[in-house]
Structure 1
Amino acid sequence: MSEKYLIFGATGSIGSSLAEQLKNSGNDIHLIARNESEVSSIAEKLGCTFTVADVLEESFIEKVKADVAEIKGIAYCVGSIDLKPLRMVTEQDFNKCMKLNLYSAVEAIKGYQESLKKNKGSIVLFSTVAAQRGFTNHAIIASAKAAVEGLTVSLAAEFAPNIRVNCVAPSLTKSKIAEPMLKNTTIAEGIAKAHPLKRLGEGKDSAALAKFLITEDSSWVTGQIIAVDGGRSKLS
Structure 2
Amino acid sequence: MKNYLIVGGSSGIGKSIVEELKNDSDKNIWATYNTSTDRNWVNDEKYIHMDVTSNEYNIQSLPDTLDGLVYCPGTIRLKPFDRIKPEDFIDDYQIQLLGAVKVVQQLLPKLKKVQHASVVFFSTVAVSQGFKFHSLVSASKGAVEGLTKALAAEYAPAIRFNCIAPSLTNTPLAASMLNTEAKIDSNGNRHPLKRIGNPKDIADMAVFLLSEKASWITGQVLHVDGGISTINI
Class of the TM-score when normalised by the shorter of the 2 chains: over 0.9
Inter-partner Cα distance in structure 2 for 1:34 and 1:218: 30
Question: 1:131 and 2:130 equivalent?
Answer: no
Q: Which has the higher helix share?
A: 1
Question: What residue is the counterpart of 1:118 in the other structure?
Answer: 113
Counterpart code for 2:14: G
Question: What residue is the counterpart of 2:91 in the other structure?
Answer: 96
Inter-partner Cα distance in structure 2 for 1:20 and 1:46: 10
Inter-partner Cα distance in structure 2 for 1:104 and 1:46: 28
Inter-partner Cα distance in structure 2 for 1:176 and 1:197: 22
Question: 1:56 and 2:50 equivalent?
Answer: no
Inter-partner Cα distance in structure 2 for 1:81 and 1:175: 11
Inter-partner Cα distance in structure 2 for 1:47 and 1:161: 30
- What's the CA shift string for 1:79-133, capped at 9, x where partnerless? 2111110110111110111110110101111111122122121100000000100
Counterpart code for 1:92: E
Q: How does 1:1-236 map to 2 (within 5 A)?
A: 2-26=1-25, 27-35=27-35, 37-39=37-39, 42=40, 44-60=41-57, 63=58, 65-68=59-62, 69-120=64-115, 121-236=117-232
Inter-partner Cα distance in structure 2 for 1:45 and 1:193: 37
Counterpart code for 1:66: Q
Q: Which one is further off, 50-59 or 103-112? A: 50-59
Q: Which one is further off, 45-54 or 19-28? A: 45-54
For the Cα contact (< 8 Å) 1:157–1:223, is it kept in 2? yes
Identity %: 38
Inter-partner Cα distance in structure 2 for 1:175 and 1:92: 26
Inter-partner Cα distance in structure 2 for 1:46 and 1:224: 32
Please give the root-mean-square deviation of Cα atoms over the aligned residues, in Å: 1.3
- What's the CA shift string for 1:168-191, capped at 9, x where partnerless? 100000011111111133222111
Partner SS for 1:147: helix
Structure 1, gaps ≥5 residues long: none
Partner SS for 1:24: coil
Inter-partner Cα distance in structure 2 for 1:86 and 1:134: 13
Partner SS for 2:38: helix
- What's the CA shift string for 1:169-220, capped at 9, x where partnerless? 0000001111111113322211110000000100000100000101222111
Give the total of aligned pairs: 229
Counterpart code for 1:28: N
Partner SS for 1:11: coil
Following TM superposition, by how much is the alpha carbon of 1:58 offset from its aligned partner in structure 2, in angstroms?
A: 2.5
Inter-partner Cα distance in structure 2 for 1:176 and 1:160: 35
